[in-house]
Amino acid sequence: MQPGRDDQTRRGSTTRYREAVLRCLVVTIALGCTRAPAERKESPPLPAAPSFQGVSIAATTTPPQYLAVFLHGIGDNAAGFASIARALRSSMPSAELLVPDGFDPFEGGGGGRQWFSRQGLDDDNRPGRVKQAGERVSLWLDAQLDARKLARDRVVLVGFSQGAIVSLWLATHRRPAPLAVAALSGRYADDEKPAAGASAPVLIVHGARDPVIPVMFAFSSAKTLEGYGVQVMTRVHPDLAHGVDELALRETRDFLTPLVPK
């Protein structure tokens, strides 16, 4: 007995319905197994350059042609080191002189500042701390130069002790290099070979009686820098301890005068 037309119609409808339900089920399972797209991770923003806190001495020309930046020693501050900047004012009349406070409070207290921590400092971790401090200072220099519409190489650095250590790192690693770097009673503390490119000419002034950073570091620093192709002038004072005297200031003036814009 052949099925009637109505039976065939009902069976066809049932088959199509089942096929539709099966397709929906397959799609639902597929969607449920599909992973949600991964969230897009944003790159962390660069740290903001520290704002200027310290002493500023205006250039005798307007606008200034470059910046002369003075980095004090550990435990000191901008007010205490500003006298060195004023003593060198005559050799850099077209520069604005900036004496910033160290970016971190001195761990010994007393209102002083520092560029990097001395706690637990040894030969293994010193290069990393100096590099971090140098990168922070370089970022700050960029902000100060940009604010005055000066090219990124229009800067001279004069550093004492810990400030000299950071200045010497910048002499070989900052790009573009500074116009010149004077390092007073410091040392070169880095274990990374500088990237190819020009480095700043360097003056090293050190006291033979220095009990804080022995004079042997003046000689080893000069040797290392010269090995990198840096132009280095070294001056050792037989009677000087850990400080800056009139002879050191005169030598710094004589070193900077031919290297900076007039």
Q: Is residue 141 domain-shared with residue 191, that is, in the same domain?
A: yes
Does some domain include residue 49?
A: no
Does some domain include residue 46?
A: no
- Percentage of the chain exceeding pLDDT 70: 81
pLDDT at residue 5, as a whole number: 44
Q: Is residue 151 domain-shared with residue 206, that is, in the same domain?
A: yes
Q: What is the pLDDT of residues 7-45, one digit of tens each?
A: 444 444 444 544 543 443 333 333 343 344 444 334 445
Q: Is residue 112 domain-shared with residue 209, that is, in the same domain?
A: yes
Does some domain include residue 31?
A: yes
Does some domain include residue 48?
A: no
Does some domain include residue 226?
A: yes
Structural domain total, the chain: 2
Q: Is residue 24 domain-shared with residue 90, that is, in the same domain?
A: no
| Structural domain that includes position 14 | 1-35
Q: Is residue 22 domain-shared with residue 138, that is, in the same domain?
A: no
Does some domain include residue 179?
A: yes
pLDDT at 135 over 90: yes
Q: Is residue 149 domain-shared with residue 179, that is, in the same domain?
A: yes
Q: Band of the pLDDT at 109, cuts 50, 70, 90?
A: confident
Single pTM value for the model: 0.81
Q: Is residue 92 domain-shared with residue 131, that is, in the same domain?
A: yes
Q: What is the pLDDT of residues 167-190, one digit of tens each?
A: 999 999 999 999 999 999 999 999
Residues 115, 117, 123, 125, CA torsion sign = negative
pLDDT at 65 over 90: yes
Q: Is residue 90 domain-shared with residue 169, that is, in the same domain?
A: yes
Q: Is residue 119 domain-shared with residue 23, that is, in the same domain?
A: no
CATH number of the domain where residue 65 is located: 3.40.50.1820
Q: Is residue 160 domain-shared with residue 235, that is, in the same domain?
A: yes
pLDDT at residue 116, as a whole number: 97
Does some domain include residue 261?
A: no
pLDDT at residue 49, as a whole number: 59
pLDDT at 226 over 60: yes
pLDDT at residue 48, as a whole number: 58
pLDDT at 227 over 90: yes
Does some domain include residue 47?
A: no
Q: Is residue 183 domain-shared with residue 221, that is, in the same domain?
A: yes
Q: What is the pLDDT of residues 232-262, one digit of tens each?
A: 999 999 999 999 999 999 999 999 999 999 8
Q: Is residue 92 domain-shared with residue 7, that is, in the same domain?
A: no
